[in-house]
Amino acid sequence: MRAASDFLSARAMGVDASGIRKVFDLAAKLKDPINFSIGQPDFDVPEEAKAAAIEAIKAGNNGYTQTQGIADLRGRVRKQLSAEFGRDVGEVLITSAVSGGLLLAIMSTINPGDEALVLDPYFVMYKHLLTLTGGKTVAVDTYPDFAFHADRVEKAITPRTKLLILNSPTNPTGAVMSDADVLAAVEVARTHDLLIVSDEIYEPFLYEGGFLSPGKLYENTVVLRGFSKSHAMTGWRVGYAAGPEAVISQMTKLQQYTFVCSPSPFQVAAVRAMDLPTAAAREVYRKKRDLVYGLLSKKFEVNKPGGAFYIFPKAPKGMTASEFCAKAIENNVLIIPGNVFSEKDTHFRISYATSDEKIKKGCEILCALAG
Ligand X SMILES: Cc1ncc(COP(=O)(O)O)c(C=O)c1O
Nearer to ligand X, 131 or 331 (CB): 131
SS3 102: helix
Pairing of strands 336-337, 115-120: unpaired
Alpha-carbon distance of 343 to 296, in angstroms, equals 24
Nearer to ligand X, 135 or 174 (CB): 174
Shortest Å, Cβ 191 to ligand X = 26
Nearer to ligand X, 97 or 196 (CB): 97
Residues near ligand X (CB under 6 A): 39, 97-99, 123, 167, 171, 199, 201, 226, 228, 234, 239
89 conformational bin, left if phi > 0, alpha if psi -120 to 50, beta if neither: alpha
CB atoms within 10 A of CB 158: 10
Pairing of strands 161-167, 115-120: parallel
Shortest Å, Cβ 202 to ligand X = 7
Shortest Å, Cβ 316 to ligand X = 26
Shortest Å, Cβ 41 to ligand X = 11
Shortest Å, Cβ 298 to ligand X = 27
Nearer to ligand X, 140 or 370 (CB): 140
Shortest Å, Cβ 368 to ligand X = 29
Alpha-carbon distance of 352 to 313, in angstroms, equals 13
Contact 189, 214 (CB under 8 A): yes
Nearer to ligand X, 36 or 123 (CB): 123
Beta strands in the chain (DSSP E): 34-35, 93-95, 115-120, 136-141, 161-167, 195-199, 221-226, 239-242, 310-311, 333-334, 336-337, 348-351
Nearer to ligand X, 143 or 259 (CB): 259
